[in-house]
Amino acid sequence: MIISLVGGGGKTTTMFYIGRYFAKKGKKVVITTTTHIIKPEEYIEIDSAKELEKVEFKDEPVVIGKDVGEKLSSLDIIEVRDFNKYADIVLVEADGAKRLPIKIPREGEPVIPENTDICIVCMGIDAVGKKISEKCFRYERAVKLFGWDENHVLSTEDAAKILTDERAEFKGVNNRKTLFIINKTDTEEDVKKALEIEKYIKIFCEANGFKNFKVSITSYKNHMEFSDFDFLKEGI
């Protein structure tokens, strides 16, 4: 199974949290990227998917990438597509957002492997109530897409529009099974905003005829870690 993570802030934290969960359950888990990720302490450099045959999987995910200094970059997308021949679960960070909580992709983004089974679309709640020029990566594209100006303050409805619009964070998802994650909900007010976003996500998805999704609200500071593993397990 291949799970690709796209969108704004929280992708890496979510990816490693999910990966460690399944690795502890005895699954062979690979974490990789089709763009760049921050280089962890332990990782493996390989040139082809077939080299995974020689990798010893333990109770931690195996991180795969090419060392380019402070980050790991992607292998050829053709090789990434074949990782699932040698692992039970492949988690792919398929997008970048420069550590901003929400984003609008440019041409060529995101880089989702075509055999992806599940997409995880991420945002940070700290985007809500702030100017798009401060919190949205490639905000000038949001201005063009939605008719806003750079001083537009993002509402919960706006956030849901970005998450579900095929020109924005939903780009490339193509009706795959989808998990929307709203993270950094560290306060009661944050949770309230996240629940409003969830309401609008459901409205917009219903209007688009999209039903195969779930919304997860998380906080790694307030003991609301990701827990919707059953939604992911259905694909294993």
pLDDT average per 10 residues of sequence, the chain (236 residues): 96 97 97 96 95 95 95 95 97 96 97 97 98 98 97 98 97 96 97 98 97 96 92 81
CA distances from 33 to 12, 52, 89, 152 (A): 10, 15, 14, 32
pLDDT for position 235 = 63
Task: Name the fold adopted by 2-225.
Answer: Rossmann fold (3.40.50)
**Measured between alpha carbons, how far is 25 from 20 in angstroms, rounded to an integer?**
9
What pLDDT does 222 receive? Answer: 86
pLDDT score for 9 = 87
Residue among 97, 88, 39, 31 nearest 67 (CA): 39
pTM reported for the whole predicted model: 0.96
Note the pLDDT of residue 236: 65
- Under DSSP, the state recorded for 8 is S
Neighbour-count burial of 155, counting CB atoms closer than 10 A to its CB (0-12 exposed, 13-18 middle, 19+ buried)? middle
The partner residues of 7 in beta bridges, in order of sequence, read 122
